[in-house]
Chain A
Amino acid sequence: MAQPRNKIKVLLAQFPLETHSRGIITVAGMLKDAGMEVVLIGNELPERIIDAAIQEDVDVVGISTYCGGELALADDLMKAAEEKGIKESTVFLLGGIFPPKNIPKLKEMGFDGTFLSTTKEEIVSCIEKAIASKRRR
């Protein structure tokens, strides 16, 4: 039958106090150009981001962060994901400006990709690899 290729669907969001949106809009365009479906929801609380991810049934949740406080909010995000049952099946990414020393902690929380300054190719390849490994599980 004429079955379309399974699309990769991504939700992009920012935590409540972020003001800079150039980064997230640039990444959204990159992912669109890579053939992905990108849902934008703007600034939102961690739990609400997870609710949106559930309704949209996305493969990937990407957070853009610049203004600090990402460790606490990322932890809330992961707790909500676990509680609502999508942590294991969803790829989590975080990018923007944050202290590089936080990367090990973010990985430990369950983030599959952390990006400080990254090319489109690196982000796309990270997403594809992470989705493949999550689907195998």
Chain B
Amino acid sequence: MELASRVLQGDTIAAAKLISGIEDEVPSAREEMSYLYPHTGKAYVIGITGSPGAGKSTLTNNLIGFFRAQGMSVGVIAIDPTSAFTGGAILGDRVRMQHHSADKDVFIRSLATRGWVGGLAKATTGAIHVMDALGKDVILVETVGSGQIEIDITRAADTTLLVLTPAAGDAIQMMKAGILEAADIFVINKADKGGADLLKTDLEAMLAMRAQPANGWRPGIVLTEAIYDKGTEELGEEILRHREFLISSGELGRRQRERVKLELMETVEGFLKDFVHEVDKGDYLSRLIDDLTQGKTNPHAAALEIIRRLAKELSRLEDSGKAGRPKA
């Protein structure tokens, strides 16, 4: 557990290497993470989402400054899309955040989505854990530029900001399902551009119309001009107000519990997927497919058979006292 113990001592190189291991799904990184896990759960995680070019990176840069001025150390995870055609990626968020490059208490890491959908990279949760264990007080997660249904961030973060810009849609857009329902704070960036007031009115109308959320939080709307660093204080204060709300209402614990549950279920699914890929390597799967094409079985029954095989494999591993991953 060399990397994990170095991370706990605040070693940046080890943290960066461990995040790479999570991205590449290296088995040893999984073990290191088991060692780190008890040291996580302390950081306050803020998600920043919105359409491409809305100003997420610039706002993130401003928020780093805000939280540093509060005396908090900051981690940033900036996610950009992987090309579906070449597998390559341009990770261009960090270029907006270089104001803080000389600050040792700011750790910025760019991640490519590598085929993961939902607005995040698969390694996001792991990277949050590493930065948390590294001792970062606040972790800002900037999603890929996304529009409507990429709401994974609301499950990964304690507080989610949705960054909007004027002239990007009317009241009907505001009423649609998706991220608009899930945001905790609305940011209207580029507020100097015409139409910011109209957007604010539309948002207010939408918020007034919708059913009172069960937890009692009314999302705030903050106007910013990120490139001039205008509105940063107001936004930072609104974030802290939401954090206070999360703590005093008990919502924070509920969200964290939900997040742990989601991570557990995703781990189970990942485990099953890996197993299925292993099954694919032998001729076991092709025999099942033969049976399916000949109508001797059906997908439901065949899937259950694969699960039964996994259960048998797991109990065999337990009997032989061997920890580790099942082999098909």
A: residues with CB less than 8 A from B are: 1-7, 9, 28-29, 31-42, 44, 48, 51-52, 54-57, 84-86
Contacts and interface: CB of A to CB of B under 8 A. Distances in A.
Majority secondary structure of chain A interface residues (helix, strand, loop or mixed): mixed
B19 A41 contact: no
Given A32-B88, A55-B109, 20 more contacts: A1-B27, A2-B273, A2-B277, A4-B24, A4-B115, A7-B114, A32-B86, A33-B83, A35-B86, A35-B88, A38-B89, A39-B94, A39-B110, A40-B92, A40-B94, A41-B98, A42-B95, A48-B98, A54-B12, A55-B107
B90 A1 contact: no
B25 A3 contact: yes
Interface residues of B, number: 36
B20 interface: yes
B301 interface: no
Contacts, number: 96
A37 B121 CA distance: 13
B17 interface: yes
A7 B19 contact: no
Nearest to B16: A57
B83 A1 contact: no
Given A34-B88, A40-B95, A42-B95, A1 B110 contact: no
B274 A1 contact: yes
Given A37-B91, A38-B88, A57-B20, A4 B114 contact: yes
B185 interface: no
B6 to A, nearest CB: 12
Nearest to A53: B16
B133 to A, nearest CB: 16
| Closest CB pairs A-B (n = 9) | A32-B88, A57-B16, A1-B274, A35-B87, A48-B101, A39-B91, A42-B95, A57-B20, A37-B89
A3 B24 contact: yes
Contacts of B95: 40-42
Residue from the set A31, A34, A40, A54 with the largest chain B CB neighbour count within 10 Å: A40
Nearest to A42: B95
Contact of A57 (B19, B83, B91): B19
B321 to A, nearest CB: 22
A40 B274 contact: no
Contacts of A52: 94, 98, 101, 108
A117 B280 CA distance: 47
Interface string B1-37: 0000000000011001101100111010000000000
A131 B88 CA distance: 17
B89 A1 contact: no
Nearest to B109: A55
A42 to B, nearest CB: 5
B278 A1 contact: yes
B151 to A, nearest CB: 24
A5 to B, nearest CB: 8
B110 A7 contact: no
Contacts of A5: 87
Contacts of B69: none
Contacts of B17: 57
A54 B16 contact: yes
A32 B90 contact: yes
B214 interface: no
Nearest to A30: B88
Contacts of A4: 24-25, 114-115
